Amino acid sequence: MGNGHRRLFRALGVTLLELLITLGLIGVLSAVAIPGYQAYLERAKIAAAKADILEISFMLERYLTFKNAYPTTLAELGAARLDPWGAPYRYLSMDGANVGQKRKDKSLHPLNSDYDLYSMGPDGQSQTPLTASASRDDIIRANNGGFVGVAEDY
């Protein structure tokens, strides 16, 4: 190989330092981008759960209009479905429900007087009072539909 060929290969080559700098930059960008993307996905799932709860609420109101009572289950309504985290939505008609079954706010008053409808959220766990740590990430319907969102924000 002549001198001309060696110069050409060196001009096209990448030094080890350049390669390490490039890998370091890729690592830093990944460390910043991945958590942001995961937070975006979580916000999208929360938005989907809110939309589902509103849609099911409209179906429940139509059912009430035609049958003069709320159904006992979402399956009876034809709205049994899974939330974005893979768990079924929870529903409780207040007709015949005892106090221990009803969702409660910080003052331990029932959230709704017509029915409870909620998702257990990302952790898949829930308890009746919103003050319980397992309930803070639930997506709830409260004030008879006046609020639909994350329980922690209520």
- The structural domain count of the chain equals 1
* Domain-located, residue 148: yes
* Domain-located, residue 41: yes
* Domain-located, residue 7: no
Walk along the chain (154 residues) and give the pLDDT tens digit of each residue.
556 656 655 666 767 788 889 899 999 998 989 999 999 999 999 999 999 999 999 999 999 999 999 999 999 999 889 999 999 999 999 988 888 899 998 888 999 999 999 999 999 999 999 989 999 999 999 999 999 999 999 9
Enclosing domain of residue 70: 15-153
* Domain-located, residue 118: yes
- The enclosing domain of 51 has a CATH number of 3.30.700.10
Distance in angstroms (rounded) separating the CA atoms of residues 103 and 11: 70
* Domain-located, residue 3: no
Tokens of 20: 């390490």
* Domain-located, residue 112: yes
The per-residue DSSP string of 36-82 comes to HHHHHHHHHHHHHHHHHHHHHHHHHHHHHHHHSS--SSHHHHT---B
* Domain-located, residue 5: no
* Domain-located, residue 109: yes
